[in-house]
Amino acid sequence: STIASSGRGILAIDESNATCGKRLASIGLENTEANRRAYRQLLLTTPGLGEYISGVILFEETLHQSTTDGKKFVDCLRDQKIVPGIKVDK
């Protein structure tokens, strides 16, 4: 897989836990690891995501998270031919 792919873009979901918490709070949810994981699962397991997204920038916590059935998020991305990456600046 390559990041530069015609008709496909890069999805940046590298927001910090605090920023993700603000998104969750806006819909009445607590900023917990379980809720952040559920939010990321919703995004990263969207059927057909790989048709439109070639790469995803992740927050470090996401590298260690899995779906509710135990599949690592990075493996979900790779299965859809999406290149996972990580935010490295602080």
In a domain, 2, yes or no: no
In a domain, 20, yes or no: yes
The pLDDT of residue 55 is 96
The pLDDT of residue 1 is 53
For the segment 32-74, what is each residue's pLDDT rounded down to a tens digit?
A: 999 999 999 999 999 999 999 999 999 999 999 999 999 999 9
For the segment 20-41, what is each residue's pLDDT rounded down to a tens digit?
A: 999 999 999 999 999 999 999 9
Give the CA-trace dihedral at 72, 75, 76, 80, to 10 degrees: 170
In a domain, 4, yes or no: no
In a domain, 16, yes or no: yes
Picking from 89, 16, 14, the residue whose alpha carbon sits closest to that of residue 58 is 14
In a domain, 75, yes or no: yes
The pLDDT of residue 90 is 65
In a domain, 30, yes or no: yes
Beta strands 83-86 and 53-58 are parallel
Q: Which domain holds residue 36?
A: 9-86
In a domain, 73, yes or no: yes
Question: What's this model's pTM, rounded to 2 decimal places?
Answer: 0.86
pLDDT band at 87 (very low <50, low <70, confident <90, very high): confident
Domain count, the chain: 1
Helices 33-44 + 17-25 axis angle, to 10: 90
In a domain, 48, yes or no: yes
